[in-house]
A and B are shown apart, each in its own frame.
Chain A
Amino acid sequence: MTAQSRISPTPPPAAPRSASGALTISSLSKSFTIDGKPLPVLDGIDLTLRPGEFVSIVGASGCGKSTLLRLIVGLDTDYSGEIRLDGQRIATTSLDRGIVFQDHRLFPWMTLEENVGLALLNTDIPKDRRAQIVADHIALVNLSGFEKAYPHQLSGGMAQRAAIARALVTEPKLLLLDEPLGALDALTRVHVQKELQRIWMAQRSTMLMVTHDVEEALYLGDRVIVMSPNPGRIRRIVEVDLPHPRDRSSPVLHRLRDEILTELTGAPDPANLVRFPGTEER
């Protein structure tokens, strides 16, 4: 999958970073121990992310995609194989790698700006500049005016955008998104997808998003990784050769969606078949 012969549909990052967020995963495997027996969840994952690229991962529940993100962010370091960001082997968490969880995980006793500012506590950014950086990132996710709001005063979509602001405030080279829009209603979801695309185009961090939603994966991703479960393996990598911002109704996206859905429902596990209505008519 490293043989990327085509020209990237996205322009290079506007502000080049010193080392700019190239993720390399090679022969990564991970298993949990359940009742004394090893249960493999990820098996032989090889994946390379170019700096500034947006990559989506789709797959049925239990294909280990969330586990993969936990390994990359460094919350779980018990694995075999290699994960490297700009050549550095990942051994723990780092401010170079941000993550947005499905639940926003904002602290309810902190205002929006305190929540975002919390991420800067362990940076060497001078204290007098932090407020401005926090304000800039709140503006980036279109939440200016809500700086003093507590999380319970924000809607689900706003809270998730606030979580994105918190994850981006340290300017990570790599942003991981673990089903960030999974808990939102359909309309809010479409809105935040657009926002996420705009934020990514403004920010140009490398982004890796896990999702259940094939359309979302295609709408946002330069590439879509299709995973199969038990144990989690990469089944296919789909290039989405369309410039951003994208038109949701593009026939290319629809054709790719149908291909991926067929791919996913073609899996030997019949339990997956019922999850994707609309494919059987084709």
Chain B
Amino acid sequence: MMARPIPAFIPALAPPLLLIGAWQAASATGLFPAQVLVPPSEVMRTLASLAVNGELSAHLGQSLFRLVFGFAIGATAGLAFGAALALSKWIEALFSPLFLAVRQVPVLAFVPVLVLLLGIEEGFKITIVAVAAFFPVALATFDGVRGVPKAWFEVARVYRTPLVPFVARILVPATVPPVLTGLRIALTRAWLVLVAAELLAADSGIGQMMEMGRQMFRIDVVLAGVIVSGLIGFALDRGAKWIERRATRWRTA
């Protein structure tokens, strides 16, 4: 008489469904004007029509394009910089104070200057995403390379492992777990910063769609954007976690 086990995601659906239910109920009371507290059913209708008329996918495509490009640039630079910082005492002495200070500045604080320098074209958005991705990746790479146990360097010395296989087969795999975590954090942070930057200054993208909705008092469009950006961020985090687990299967398996 064994009850069938309930899949783990089923209970996780309850809070969002309850929230939507409460939201629907609250808008049905009429306490707030319908244009302000738009019922979820209305938001879903808007979302569906945005999806059908292609507006949503156009904005989303723009945003994801910026995310991919900016992230690729920022993550590559972060990997290189973090590794250089960790491997060279000289580079560390020279750059680490500046790096640690700039890291403390909220990325969005760079928006005004970047807009003045780069306008609100693609260059600006890709740059802000790259900046957002750079710091977590650089930091994780630095910690990852520094964290490689001395014992493993000694093993490589004992076997006189040549440089290329040493980097490819020892150094890189040893730093993969912390670096992947850094990349995942950077990816989700880059998405947050991108949507925020699009809200502030853009001519397209999911953030700009929300900003236009706000200006035209279409709260349903704003909320549709909130849902979409939340789902994208969630999917990015989950996808990156999946890759992280697969790439480090030797740790448990």
Kindly provide the distance from the CB of B103 to the nearest chain A CB, expressed in whole angstroms. Answer: 30
Contact B250 A118 (CB under 8 A): no
Kindly provide the distance from the CB of A225 to the nearest chain B CB, expressed in whole angstroms. Answer: 22
Q: How far is the CA of A119 from the CA of B173 in the complex (A)?
A: 17
Q: List residues of A (81-107) whose CB comes within 8 Å of B's CBs.
A: 93-95, 98-99, 101, 103, 105, 107
Contact B162 A122 (CB under 8 A): yes
Contact A109 B250 (CB under 8 A): yes
Query: Interface of A with B (CB < 8 Å)?
Result: 73-75, 93-95, 98-99, 101, 103, 105, 107-110, 118-119, 121-122, 150, 152, 170
Contact B161 A107 (CB under 8 A): no
Contact B158 A150 (CB under 8 A): no
Contact A105 B162 (CB under 8 A): no
Kindly provide the distance from the CB of B72 to the nearest chain A CB, expressed in whole angstroms. Answer: 25
Kindly provide the distance from the CB of A148 to the nearest chain B CB, expressed in whole angstroms. Answer: 12
Chain B, 216-253, contact with A by CB distance < 8 Å: what is the 0/1 string?
00000000000000000000000000000000101111
B151 adjacent to chain A (CB < 8 Å): yes
Kindly provide the distance from the CB of B204 to the nearest chain A CB, expressed in whole angstroms. Answer: 43
Contact A122 B173 (CB under 8 A): no
CB contact between A122 and one of B152, B159, B169 (< 8 Å): that residue: B159
Q: How far is the CA of A103 from the CA of B151 in the complex (A)?
A: 9
Q: Contacts A108-B250, A109-B250, A150-B253 known; A118 to B159 CB distance under 8 Å? A: yes
Contact B173 A75 (CB under 8 A): no
Contact B151 A94 (CB under 8 A): no
Contact B161 A98 (CB under 8 A): no
Taking CB atoms, residues of chain B closer than 8 Å to A118 are 159, 161, 165, 169
Q: How many A-B residue pairs have CB under 8 A?
A: 55
Taking CB atoms, residues of chain B closer than 8 Å to A98 are 158
Query: Interface of B with A (CB < 8 Å)?
Result: 151-152, 154-155, 157-162, 165, 169-170, 173-174, 176, 248, 250-253
**A75, A98, A118: most-surrounded residue (chain B CB, <10 A):** A118
Kindly provide the distance from the CB of A146 to the nearest chain B CB, expressed in whole angstroms. Answer: 15
CB contact between A152 and one of B151, B161, B250 (< 8 Å): that residue: B250
CB contact between A121 and one of B154, B161, B176, B252 (< 8 Å): that residue: B161
Contact B173 A121 (CB under 8 A): no
Q: How far is the CA of A75 from the CA of B152 in the complex (A)?
A: 12
**A108, A109, A110, A119: most-surrounded residue (chain B CB, <10 A):** A109
Taking CB atoms, residues of chain A closer than 8 Å to B252 are 152
Q: How far is the CA of A121 from the CA of B169 in the complex (A)?
A: 11
Contact A95 B151 (CB under 8 A): no
Taking CB atoms, residues of chain B closer than 8 Å to A94 are 160
Kindly provide the distance from the CB of A162 to the nearest chain B CB, expressed in whole angstroms. Answer: 13
19 CB contacts below 8 A, A to B, read A73-B158, A75-B154, A75-B158, A93-B157, A94-B160, A95-B159, A95-B160, A103-B151, A107-B170, A109-B248, A109-B250, A110-B169, A110-B250, A118-B159, A118-B161, A122-B161, A150-B250, A152-B251, A170-B159
Contact B170 A93 (CB under 8 A): no
| In the A-B complex, the 6 residue pairs with the closest CB atoms | A109-B250, A109-B173, A122-B160, A119-B159, A93-B157, A105-B155
Taking CB atoms, residues of chain B closer than 8 Å to A119 are 159
Taking CB atoms, residues of chain B closer than 8 Å to A93 are 157-158, 160
Taking CB atoms, residues of chain A closer than 8 Å to B158 are 73, 75, 93, 98-99
Kindly provide the distance from the CB of A95 to the nearest chain B CB, expressed in whole angstroms. Answer: 6
Q: How far is the CA of A152 from the CA of B252 in the complex (A)?
A: 7
Q: How far is the CA of A109 from the CA of B253 in the complex (A)?
A: 11
Q: How far is the CA of A216 from the CA of B229 in the complex (A)?
A: 65
Q: Contacts A93-B160, A118-B159, A152-B250 known; A107 to B152 CB distance under 8 Å? A: yes
Kindly provide the distance from the CB of B149 to the nearest chain A CB, expressed in whole angstroms. Answer: 9
CB contact between A108 and one of B159, B161, B162, B251 (< 8 Å): that residue: B251
CB closest chain-A residue, reference B172:
A109
